[in-house]
Amino acid sequence: MLYLLRQLFDPASDAIAVAACGSAAPPRAEGGRQRVVNHRLGFSLVVPSNWELAVEQRYDGPLRLFGFTLIPRILRPGTPRSYRGDEEAGWNCLTLRGGTAAGLDISVCRRRPLPTPANVMNDKWARVLNLRACHMEENVSINDLAGFAVVRNLPGGSELTGFGAIAEPVVMRQWWLQGDGLSVEIRGVAPRQCSALQDAMDEVVASIVATPG
């Protein structure tokens, strides 16, 4: 997975890459990782322990009125809270922030239909918002999950849900994955010239595994 971002956004030098990271929090070395487990849905992943981590239970489903489906799918945010490994309250969304322009949003649910690569590439709202995909990677395999990913190149000043206005140019990568009865949607953002944060983003995604519920 790492090679794709390297090919598209290879920094001119290590000095430029370090400077571009700005105030973001580079991942710690060995020992600076935390395993996050969702026992109800049955998956786990490993995240940098010095990044801000929150979980929440979001509503992700149809909007119905008097028994009629008005909109096939809406997303309604929950209340973010700190992650506690022994918590009994359910959650289906994890947010991870390594700075103002670096982080991941990961949503997981029981298996359901996901968009196709063609749906994503031809999405009219992406065109309207100038979020066109500049590259697609099909046949992505991550442990027991499989699907596809796209890369979007966003200019400085872009407005992103969950991040607000981002001053610097960023690369946004999205994954749609399925396996072991789960559907996973991921959005990752990192500064275009900061290879350390791009690597950290890919490493978190690569760590996702299904676990017994």
CATH number at 142 reads 3.40.1000.10
In the chain, the number of structural domains is 1
* Of 72, 42, 75, residue with least CA distance to 187: 75
Instruction: Report the first-to-last Cα separation within the chain, whole angstroms.
Output: 27
Mean pLDDT of 139-150: 94
| pLDDT over threshold 80, residue 174 | yes
C-alpha 176/C-alpha 208 separation (Å) is: 13
Say how many C-beta atoms besides its own lie within 10 A of residue 85's C-beta: 9
Which pLDDT score, from 0 to 100, does residue 161 have?
Answer: 77
Tens of pLDDT, residues 123-141: 776 666 667 777 889 999 9
pLDDT confidence bin for 212, thresholds 50/70/90: low
| pLDDT over threshold 50, residue 62 | yes
Kind of pairing, strands 182-191 and 170-179?
Answer: antiparallel
Tracing tokens 């749906």 back to the chain, one arrives at: 119
* Of 168, 159, 137, 161, residue with least CA distance to 150: 137
Would you state the torsion angle of the CA atoms of residues 115, 166, 102, 84, taken in this order, to the nearest 10 degrees? -80
Q: What is the pTM of this model?
A: 0.78
Domain that includes residue 139, residue range: 2-210
